[in-house]
């Protein structure tokens, strides 16, 4: 088998992976992006009507303007923008190909194994984000088909009894959308308030719906069991059971930490599991292996966004070029 060789392989075709490719093209590096799904696959899997917290210019890459009529762009506009970025730069990208393993075979060579073939590269960037592995509740009944860790749109839940777990942006958006489409919505929230990081124009809306009784919320509470037609909840006033058709367990997501460790990247020993890397070059403890974007934060998935991690591309490619 002939193995293709590159100066750089970029694992992940999200906005930050694309930003890395743009900088690689500027430096005339022979590169390849490998993406397990569609281009900007995580954004594709966001809820249909999601609105970004960031303004359009903060999502721009490659000095290409992101024109948007509304103050904040939505999912559809972002997909259109990044498709146009690909049309403009004509990336060397393999879509729907999953990287399974990254191994350093010599001091200046990596072997990248996918579900289709193998590649060799002098340098590798992992820019895989964090949206692929849900944080599970580890409770009885979580495996039932009615339990969903991803939310797409409200229509399926109209006129049904819905329980939404969590009080972050995704949970609040789902609760409000489902309620407005006719669902009977209950929220189970571990803390005593709605998360302070919820979008500032949405937070008063959910708090008012709870205050008026349109949406029921159990604060300082946890689900203890899920059954076919009901859910058991531990509240400050004791255990209760409510009727239920669907559970939206929007409890967050985490990077594929096992994948990072398998590639030789060290993680912090605490529960945050932050990868070891040089913040100036983004190079990990494995020479020639770099991290970019949200994956750098380990379990701190709220630390890095498109807008504050675009600079990773410049840092990495400048370092590679200097060598």
Which bin fits 117, alpha (ψ -120 to 50), beta or left (φ > 0)?
A: beta
Across the range 183-195, mean pLDDT stands at: 96
Cα four-point dihedral sign 272, 273, 276, 277: negative
Which residue from 67, 77, 61 is spatially nearest to 14, judged by alpha carbons? 61
Residue 174 pLDDT > 80: yes
Which residues lie below 8 Å from residue 303, measured CB to CB, with a gap of 6+?
294, 296, 297
236-257, pLDDT tens digit by residue?
999 999 999 999 999 989 999 9
Q: Is 218 in contact with 190 (CB distance < 8 Å)?
A: no
56-to-73, 99, 264, 293, 312 alpha-carbon distances in Å: 6, 31, 36, 18, 19
81-108, pLDDT tens digit by residue?
999 999 999 999 999 999 999 999 998 9
Residue 69 pLDDT > 90: no
Residue 88: how many CB atoms within 10 A of its CB?
11
Would you state the pLDDT for residue 156?
96
Q: Is 268 in contact with 274 (CB distance < 8 Å)?
A: yes
pTM for this model (two decimals): 0.92
For residue 12, the SS3 value is coil
Would you state the pLDDT for residue 71?
85
In the chain the domains, ranked by start, together with CATH numbers, are 4-133+253-322 (3.50.50.60), 136-249 (3.50.50.60)
Which residues lie below 8 Å from residue 238, measured CB to CB, with a gap of 6+?
none
Which residues lie below 8 Å from residue 62, measured CB to CB, with a gap of 6+?
18, 19, 22, 85, 88, 89
């Amino acid at each position: 088998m002939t193995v293709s060789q590159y100066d750089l392989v970029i694992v992940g075709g999200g906005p930050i992976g694309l930003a890395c490719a743009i900088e690689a093209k500027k430096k005339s590096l022979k590169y390849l992006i490998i993406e397990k799904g569609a281009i900007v696959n995580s954004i594709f899997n966001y809820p249909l009507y999601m609105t970004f917290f960031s303004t359009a210019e903060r999502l721009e890459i490659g000095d290409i303007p992101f024109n948007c009529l509304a103050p904040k762009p939505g999912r559809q506009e972002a997909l259109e923008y990044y498709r146009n970025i690909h049309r403009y730069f004509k990336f060397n990208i393999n879509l729907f190909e999953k990287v399974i393993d990254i191994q350093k075979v010599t001091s200046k060579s990596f072997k990248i194994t996918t579900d289709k073939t193998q590649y060799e590269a002098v340098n590798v960037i992992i820019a895989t984000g964090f949206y692929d592995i849900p944080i599970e509740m580890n409770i009885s009944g979580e495996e039932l088909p009615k339990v969903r860790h991803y939310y797409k749109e409200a229509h399926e839940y109209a006129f049904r009894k819905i329980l939404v777990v969590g009080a972050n942006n995704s949970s609040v958006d789902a609760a409000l959308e489902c309620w407005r489409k006719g669902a009977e919505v209950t929220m189970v929230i571990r803390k005593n308030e709605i998360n302070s990081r919820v979008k500032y124009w949405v937070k008063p809306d959910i708090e008012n719906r709870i205050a008026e009784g349109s949406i029921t919320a159990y604060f300082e509470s946890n689900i203890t069991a899920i059954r076919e037609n009901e859910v058991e909840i531990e509240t400050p006033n004791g255990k209760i059971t409510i009727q239920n058709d669907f559970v939206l367990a929007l409890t967050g997501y985490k990077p594929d930490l096992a994948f990072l460790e398998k590639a030789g990247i060290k993680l912090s020993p605490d529960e945050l599991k932050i990868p070891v890397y040089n913040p100036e070059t983004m190079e990990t403890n494995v020479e020639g292996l770099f991290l970019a974007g949200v994956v750098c934060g380990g379990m701190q998935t709220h630390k890095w966004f498109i807008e504050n991690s675009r600079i990773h591309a410049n840092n990495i490619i400048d370092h590679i070029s200097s060598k």
